Amino acid sequence: MTSAKRGTVTEKMKIKTLLALLSAAACCTAAACAVGAAPPQTAATDAELTDEFRDFLALREAAPAEAMSESAGGYDFTAENGRLRITGADETEVWSSNEEWYVDSFRLGDVNRDRISDVTFVVWKSYRFGAEHPARMTNDDASVRCHLYVYSVKDDRVKPLWCSSTLPRPIYSFELDAGGERTPVLSGTLLITQEGSYTGDYGKTASTGYTYEWNGWGFSPRAEPSPAVTPAVHSATLAVVGDLMCHKAQYADALAKGGGETYDFSYMFKYIAPYISAADYAVGNFETTITLPGNKPSDFPYFASPQSFAEAIKDAGFDFVTTVNNHSLDYGKEGLIHTLEVLDELGLRHTGTYAAESDSENITVIDVNGITFAILSYTYGTNGNPIPPDMPWSVNITDDGKIADDIAKAKALNPDFVIVMPHMGAEYETSTREIFKDNIRKMLLAGADIVLASHPHVLQPVEFVTVTDDDGTERRCFVAYSLGNFVSSQRTAPRDYGMIVNLGFSKTDGGKAALDSVGLTPVWVKFTNPRGAYDITVLPVIESGSAGFTNIINTGLRPGVAHSGDNELQAPELVTNAVPELAEVFDNIGAKGIRRIEAVKAEFAEMFPGFAGA
């Protein structure tokens, strides 16, 4: 019992001591803030004014502050010639500011919402503190600076509520606004000021507005909401083509155009390059190898093309190629590795075949204007050419399990889209067999968003496919079952033409990326001039008109029309006359070429009649 009583006494003593400390601290705070706050029975003598303050008063006498008078809570408040006075109903003076202060202006308002009238005023004076300065202060600054005080008035008593000594900037004007946010801490009172800079003659400088809020113990800078930031909207366009092939006729034509000493393929892409480079990123299927040092180019069944063929592809605007197809191992391991080395030197990114195991384990992700794409590619086989035993990972062979695993790895990297480009399908068939549709369906179900296939060397249909994921989310995916030939020497229709698939994407920061539009640009490979000489050139299919062959059919699921992913048809931006020389080119096509172009237009429109699969 004794120890319990002692404990109780001890606790009481602790509480009394704590209350005493808090009371003392509060008195010190009030004394420090309310310099000269006591009623002015003892006026300051001239000797108590600092030289700095006398200089200040002299300047103010030449340009005194405007007199003010307001009433609130049964009291009248006036400020004139630097003095603030408070009088009661019977005009008895309740309080006036000290002579060592110069009051510029004041405002009335219940700043802390305690239903007591408060006066907020701007004071100029020497020293940060008065006679009741903190014990640690031994040498206060006599410079004249601006201060802000808040006093409350009730029952003829004036009580200092809060002060801010030696403001970092002089307040030129201020207002009180009761429309601020109200919380258990915030009273809702805002102090809105115009503040400038201190000068030697106490003159005014350019001012800046500031806002403070009463937070329970005084005014503090308002936590301004972050400026509204409009989320950035990213857009990206991809141009994707089918097989980039190089047969004997092509490298023979390139050798002739190179004067018999070099292979010049630049002419082959001259007129289609603007359509490729207009996209933000361009992709094709590199269906050949690069000739090994000391070897000559070769044609089917073992393709090897001059390095300048790859250079021309790069110069035409292509950024990326898939290298995995049935001709990847036409020249074995050495041909595969050399091809990749050349592409690396040219800065053409690639995927599907690999010179290092570590490369085969990495998922290729590209970033196009802030929108990301994982690109995967596989082939059904390599024409019986064996995969190097010491490099079993060098060629991506189509396998449902591997593709699903790779898509899962890709999705773990959080790209906006997963694109799969399989080399598969039945050659020269313009319709897609169900087995290949099933294979592609598996890719979509595994998480692919876009599948763009090649190998048949002719165009096959395109369509949107809606897939429901395991979590119930529906995804609208796009499929091109065969992109056809982009360039080759295959002349039997319809192998002589192909298309550019133009994909338009958008993404708002913080949102989900979307495939907004799909467009198709038909292209035809001109093979000879009217005299029968090689003149192999990839050309956009055009419409004839009274002005000649200058009205280009641009991106569209039927001539001149683009198809949006949300089932709305929209007109794309025309690329009319992108290549001024085209009129001259088509003047040199000949009657046979013109007839073939018209046939291509008809075949293309028949295959993509307004994109019926949407």
Q: Are residues 453 and 577 in the same domain?
A: yes
State mean pLDDT over 197-215.
90
Q: Which residue has the higher pLDDT, 321 or 19?
A: 321
**415 lies in some domain:** yes
Confidence of residue 132 (pLDDT cuts 50, 70, 90): very low
Percentage helix, strand, coil for the chain under 3-state DSSP, each rounded to 5: 25, 35, 45
**29 lies in some domain:** no
Q: Are residues 214 and 238 in the same domain?
A: no
Residue 381's H or E segment, with its range, is none
pLDDT at 313: 98
Q: Are residues 161 and 271 in the same domain?
A: no
**Residue 608 to residue 605: CA distance in whole angstroms:** 5
Helix axis angle for 307-315 and 248-257, nearest 10°, is 80
pLDDT above 70 coverage of the chain, percent: 81
Q: Which residue has the higher pLDDT, 556 or 520?
A: 520
Cβ pair 217, 146 in contact under 8 A: no
Q: Which residue has the higher pLDDT, 510 or 446?
A: 446
Residue 105's Cβ-count burial label (10 Å; 0-12, 13-18, 19+) is middle
Question: Does pLDDT of 474 surpass 70?
Answer: yes
Confidence of residue 587 (pLDDT cuts 50, 70, 90): low
Q: Tens digits of per-residue pLDDT, 329-358?
A: 999 999 999 999 999 999 999 999 999 999
Q: Which residue has the higher pLDDT, 203 or 490?
A: 490
**12 lies in some domain:** no
Confidence of residue 200 (pLDDT cuts 50, 70, 90): confident
State mean pLDDT over 311-321.
98
Q: Are residues 93 and 114 in the same domain?
A: yes
State mean pLDDT over 130-139.
49
**374 lies in some domain:** yes
Residue 24's Cβ-count burial label (10 Å; 0-12, 13-18, 19+) is exposed
Question: Does pLDDT of 31 surpass 50?
Answer: no
**What value does the mean pLDDT of the chain take?**
83
- What is the CATH classification number for the domain harbouring 461? 3.60.21.10
**329 lies in some domain:** yes
**Residue 502 to residue 238: CA distance in whole angstroms:** 6
Q: Are residues 217 and 237 in the same domain?
A: no
pLDDT at 413: 96
| Selection from 241-250, 510-519, 570-579 with the highest mean pLDDT | 241-250
Q: Are residues 135 and 158 in the same domain?
A: yes
Amino acid at position 528, single letter = T
Question: Does pLDDT of 96 surpass 70?
Answer: yes
The single residue listed with the structure tokens 């030129």 is 172
Q: Are residues 209 and 61 in the same domain?
A: yes
**13 lies in some domain:** no
State mean pLDDT over 124-153.
74
Q: Which residue has the higher pLDDT, 30 or 408?
A: 408
pLDDT at 614: 25
Q: Are residues 94 and 238 in the same domain?
A: no
* Domain finish residue from 173, 193, 221: 221
The arrangement of strands across the sheet holding 450-452 comes to: 364-368, 371-379, 417-423, 450-452, 474-480, 462-468
| Rg of the chain taking only CA atoms, in angstroms | 42
Confidence of residue 415 (pLDDT cuts 50, 70, 90): very high
Question: Does pLDDT of 612 surpass 60?
Answer: no
pLDDT at 583: 60
**614 lies in some domain:** no
* Domain finish residue from 190, 221, 252: 221
pLDDT at 571: 32
pLDDT at 277: 93
**16 lies in some domain:** no
State mean pLDDT over 289-310.
97
Q: Are residues 171 and 282 in the same domain?
A: no
Q: Tens digits of per-residue pLDDT, 359-395?
A: 999 999 999 999 999 999 999 999 999 999 999 999 9
Mean pLDDT is lowest, of 100-104, 177-181, 192-196, 267-271, for 177-181
| Selection from 44-53, 128-137, 261-270, 587-596 with the highest mean pLDDT | 261-270
- 357, 334, 359: which is closest to 349 by C-alpha? 359
Q: Are residues 339 and 435 in the same domain?
A: yes
Q: Are residues 47 and 108 in the same domain?
A: yes
Query: Quick one: DSSP state of residue 131?
Result: T
Q: How many domains does the chain have?
A: 2
The single residue listed with the structure tokens 């929209």 is 570
Q: Are residues 543 and 432 in the same domain?
A: yes
* Domain finish residue from 192, 221, 250: 221
Q: Tens digits of per-residue pLDDT, 529-563?
A: 888 889 999 998 854 322 222 233 333 333 333 34
Residue 45 domain boundaries: 35-221
